[in-house]
A and B are shown apart, each in its own frame.
Chain A
Amino acid sequence: MPAHDVLIIGAGLAGQRAALAAAREGASVAIMSKVHPVRSHSVAAAGGINAAISVDDDWHSHAYDTVKGSDFLGDQDAIEVMCSEAPAEVLHLEHIGVTFHRNGKGEMDLRAFGGASMKRTAYVADITGQALLHVLYEQLMKHHETVERYEEWFTTSLLQDEQGDCCGVIARDVRSGRMEAFTAKNVILACGGAGQVYKPTTNGLIVTGDGIAMAYRAGAPLMDMEMVQYHPTCLVETGILITEGARGEGAHLLNSNGERFMEKSAPNKMELASRDVVSRAEQIEIDEGRGVGPGGRGIHLDVTVVPRKRTLEALREIVNLGKDFAGVDITREPITIRPGQHYIMGGVKTDVDGQTPIDGLYAAGEVACVSVHGGNRLGANSLLDTLIFGRRSGEHAAARAASMPMPAIDANAQLRRDAEAIDAIIARPREGRRVSEIKNELGELMNEYAAVFRDEQGLQTARETIARLKEETRNAWIDDRGTVFNQDVLGAIELGYMIDCAETTVLGAIERKESRGAQFRTDHPERNDEQWLKHIDITLSGDGPQVSYSPVTITQWEPEERKY
């Protein structure tokens, strides 16, 4: 049975950063991912990474913008950690090879981004996530002797000892179908969010909430799951993301009358208000009949106001996306977009070192909720979050590993149980529904009732429907009977993970009877600090999900009215 000091599940930015940090501290490290690391969804992050590296900037300003962006639900101690450590982290990335865009003096250039009081977003054209991810993977290749890689291994469950401490995982080699137990002193979950719970979403097909659900099933609390970010600029049909960098470079949002409607809700920041504000403003235009395109379901994003050369240089990827996926030359005409599910602020509850309440279990990146994003994440803060808390988790886990023996655990029973569960899915009779049908219904349901605007009735409908889908999932059938690359059976397991994420998202949204950040309740349209300036934690117990609350940490910034 393979044994490691630190075993990381997920190989996007958070996971790779955690692996490199833990290895640097001298731990024996392995990183496991259901896909090849460079396929991880961090690759799709476009616009950039925030850090107060400019001499005119101050991390306190970055922190305040983040607190305000979070609608005061973010924990300010965690936000201080993230923002104060950001400059050193970004410079470290530069030193290991990231090809950050330069200004005329050869220094790193910075671009404007939503919700930020000054230009503080470092970038590589509009492929920043890809550039970061590939550079970290270069480092993993460089450090192949100290970081073992399990590429294309699917994790089925977490191992726990009698005290409930996490001490490894059960996983399946996708390529061979072989099941194996891995012992670890510490497991770091870094396997991303749960975007596929929604349809459409900007997230890749692999983003199915695996880590969130595994931690939840192991007894870890999930926090603020109702906070789901809709990105203001997604292609109408496919949900493909058009980077906020476009608005950062000066692009306008226009309704069917050609009006820059952001004047109404954010007269100062206009298109560069925080994402929740912009998405709501767009949805109002669409709902009130001022949308554009087929069925008036969209809004125009007008990039033609950005100088063409600058667009070609700094927004190259979306020039191609426009051409290839919408048939539009964005340098010549507006492109039709709408809000689309993009990110979840909630996740597995952790402290600033990535520790969950379960000993030996860490979480970092989108899977985690530290919380630095609170009710709404600022653009270009997610890459930062993955790297800062990935690194801190790796370092902390390595230090913890140094002071403890390798857990001695007999994993055979659980290994057998997981293997049998997979065999049982494969053997299901073709009664009931296909996995793909349930997944589609779930996605459309969530996009209908747990979207930009929510209310009690819709959320209750969602809750009841999810309960039915959960039942149906137990008997959902698949076609593939094989062991080699049986993606079909993994899809069935992923659907189970997604159902858990959807259930807790809706539960949180029902619970929070106010409007804050991404959660807007039309039946409770005001923010209510007196009652709801607190986190909602959901824990799985024998009777199902249990709701509890935890306080928001406030250090220097008292809640105030949020205006852009």
Chain B
Amino acid sequence: MFASVSSTALVGVDTRPVQVEVHAGQSTKSSFSIVGLPDTAVREARERVLSALASSGFKVPEGRITVNLSPADLPKAGSAYDLPIALATLVATGQVGAAATRVVALGELALNGAVRSVRGGLGAAMVARRMSLPCILAPDAAGEAGRVPDSDVRGAADLVEAVGVARGTCPGTVLEPSPVTRPDRIADLADVRGQVVARRALEVAAAGGHHLLMSGPPGAGKTMLAAALPSVLPPLTEEEALEVALVWGAAGLARAGSHIPPFRSPHHTATVAAMVGGGSGLPSPGEVSTAHRGVLFIDELGEVPSRLLNALRQPIEDGHITIARRGHSVRFPSAFQLVAATNPCPCGFENDRLVGCRCTETAKERYRSRFSGPFLDRFDMRVRVERLDLDAMTGPPGESSAEVKERVLAARTIQVERGRLNRLLARRDLDRQSYTAGATRLLASAVDRFQLTARGWDRVRRVARTVSDLAGRDDIDQDAVAEALAYRKTL
């Protein structure tokens, strides 16, 4: 007998439908083989499925069982097909009625028959919605995937319950996602004392989505400022939140329907694969993709090896990263806002008011050359973060994130009406803005002073556009250009 149950495969962040076909043939010799580009984990499904069937009280099939995962040219990985293989086997061997195949199922089976969650539940729920079928997942995965609007997601704690759900005789179990998977509490700007200049730069960066580089001595508060950025960014829309959750899902991370833009801060010792994605087997999205629609924070930029910085260039420029694999390639989104922090020199105290710098000129040169030139040019804005004196530390707290966010939102609304985020404005968009005579003149004078390249000139105009948006001005005036130029200074 033959039976087919739908399931899904992850290709990058896309989820493709997969048919799990099982044929039970007559044979004196029992066999169980899986075909259709399975990896090792899929091939091992045989042992898990047979044990789970036995421990759940079903009959272990005799004769020749062939499992085909179609389309055959799509690489399939992991233990996600245990559940659909078990369901199709039960139907093919006549233990369960054919109605039970009208589902999309995804889940790993424990040897005792319990269903375990796997990557890609959210995508499976979306595929199931397209096919107008119910989707069966592990109970905790069902909790998260249930956020897909208009979906029919059911949770099944074990194989017996899964069969019940598939036949429509049992409602299933749905578990709310466990609290450990919630994003950490995010920092608030009210916690940052003093730092009026850096706070202003952060506000402008937030309003226009500009890449920001902060430089200053250790302990000045660079990390805290960066961590507060998501708190002043506009919340993700329903659609964006789902998109982010899909990427996180592909990375095996849960993101419990949060509308706060993600904040990722990989350590400077991270591998290239961890940073931009890849890894063995099924390619996983890296930090640049889990930071999609959020903030990627790189601390100690001066310590980051250049191969890592080079790997970051494509995702920064293109907003996505393509990872090539034998026979196919996958594409992960990476439209993030880059925030980086660095000490001005290896010891960190160059130009400090109190502590003398102990670095030699050669050491400083070598340190700066790490992130100089093309990479430094990726930042629309650069700002010095000074160490606080006692007055500022004991002074009143600054504005809260909520107050700053209000201004950021107003500036973002203007940008939505204009059509795109200021960071993404193309040269022709910038040419089309109206500039006051004073603004044009100040821009012209900067060409020589900053040795501005055409790209640099565009970056200044983008930031000036944002400063004007924050001020609610239609045209770009001299003040806006002056402020934008100040963020252009080399550190």
A and B physically associate: no
